[in-house]
Each structure stands twice: as C-alpha cells, then as structure tokens.
C-alpha cells in the first residue's frame, strides 16, 4: 500500500508556505480522529493540484490509475451509467488522495452500506453579516430544538473559514428526500422562533 509522494516540496498554501509534505504530515497526525467521521462515505474530490490560490476541479469518479487497494462504492445515476467513487477507509487511502491534490474531500451524508439513506443530518450555518457570534447563537438554538422537540443528540463542527455545522446522527431508515423535508421543517421552525424572539414591535 505504499505509493510515491509526488512533488513533496510543492507549496499548496502560499500565504503560510505549507507544502504537500506538510499537509501529508498533518493528515497523518489527525487520521485516527478523522477516519471514523468519513469512513465508508463516498468522496467527491475537490483537487487543487497547483495550490489553493489556483483553479480547482471536482472529480467524483475514481480514475483508472488509482490503485486497487482504494475502496470504492458503485453509485447509480439517473439516466447515466454508474460510477465508482472513492472511499477513505484507511490512513493510506487518505494520504493517497491528498497526494493527488485532494485538499478538500467532500463526503456524502450516507455510507456505502445504504447509499440512498443518510445516517446523519447536517445544518450548515455560514457567518452572517452580524458576525460569527450570530452563527454560534444560531447553532446553539438549532441544537436545543433538535434535542428538546425531536430527541436528537447533535454535535458541532467548524467548517470552511467561518461556518458551523450542527450534525445529528440518525438511523439510515429514510431516503434523502424525506430527510431533506424534515430538515426544512426544522429550519422553518427556527425561522419562526427567531422572528418571534428578535423582531421588535
């Protein structure tokens, strides 16, 4: 499962002078924490082969040159042929994708055992004009609603530069469409409550 690191000295983060080798070392350190969160989830690879200040491209399908020890999931597509998407099920698989320029792997909300039914619910909060404190307040409110009204435990993750994800693990019993509608209903409740709390007479 060994592979050659291509251009280890290539600078991927120019502002901080972080090289590919630095990034590989970082992912080696965090792999044990990261893998349980992304294991068995199809990966959409956003690749910055020349660094984050250059153009990127998105790759969903496993290229023919990927080694056969990279696990894959066969994904059916409506009106198109099926494709194989990569799974990051080991530290070596994680490092291999980083070596290919995949700085930001985007994971599915479902796992390969039940691709059509997500097993986690995600509320994505971007920083509003009022600042990060409002995003934090919104995340706290969503968590309270999920636990109080739906008995769903949730946890918080930072995302991107200044966003937050409120994530609630769920059983993979319902298709994406049903889970999406549920999320919308929770979001609608949040808007109604926010209006009631913050609107001045």
Q: What are the chain's domains?
A: 11-111 (no CATH), 120-198 (3.30.70.3300)
Mean per-residue pLDDT of the chain: 88
Q: Is residue 166 pLDDT above 80, yes or no?
A: yes
Choice between 201 and 178, residue whose per-residue pLDDT is larger: 178
Spell out the SS3 assignment of 38-72: HCCCEEEEEECCCCCCCCCEEECCCCCCCCCCCCE
Phi/psi at 198 (nearest 5 deg)? Answer: -100, -25
pLDDT at 196 over 70: no
Q: What is the pLDDT of residues 74-114, one digit of tens each?
A: 999 888 899 999 999 999 999 999 999 999 899 999 999 99
Range with the lowest mean pLDDT among 24-33, 83-92, 130-139? 130-139
Return d(Cα 102, Cα 6) in angstroms, integer. 13
């Amino acid at each position: 499962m060994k592979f050659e690191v291509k251009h280890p000295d290539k600078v991927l983060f120019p502002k901080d002078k972080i090289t590919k080798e630095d990034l590989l070392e970082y992912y080696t350190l965090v792999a044990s924490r990261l893998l349980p969160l992304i294991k068995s989830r199809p990966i959409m690879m956003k690749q910055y082969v020349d660094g984050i200040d250059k153009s990127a491209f998105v790759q969903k399908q496993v290229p023919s040159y990927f080694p056969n020890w990279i696990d894959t999931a066969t994904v059916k597509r409506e009106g198109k042929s099926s494709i194989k998407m990569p799974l990051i099920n080991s530290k070596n698989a994680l490092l291999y994708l980083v070596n290919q320029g995949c700085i930001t792997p985007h994971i599915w909300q479902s796992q390969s055992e039940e691709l059509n039914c997500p097993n986690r619910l995600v509320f994505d909060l971007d920083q509003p004009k009022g600042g990060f404190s409002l995003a934090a307040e919104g995340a706290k409110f969503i968590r309270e609603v999920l636990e109080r009204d739906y008995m769903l435990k949730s946890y918080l993750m930072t995302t991107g530069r200044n966003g937050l994800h409120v994530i609630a693990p769920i059983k993979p019993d319902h298709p994406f469409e049903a889970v999406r509608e549920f999320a919308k209903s929770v979001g609608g409740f949040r808007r109604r409550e926010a209006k009631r709390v913050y609107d001045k007479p």
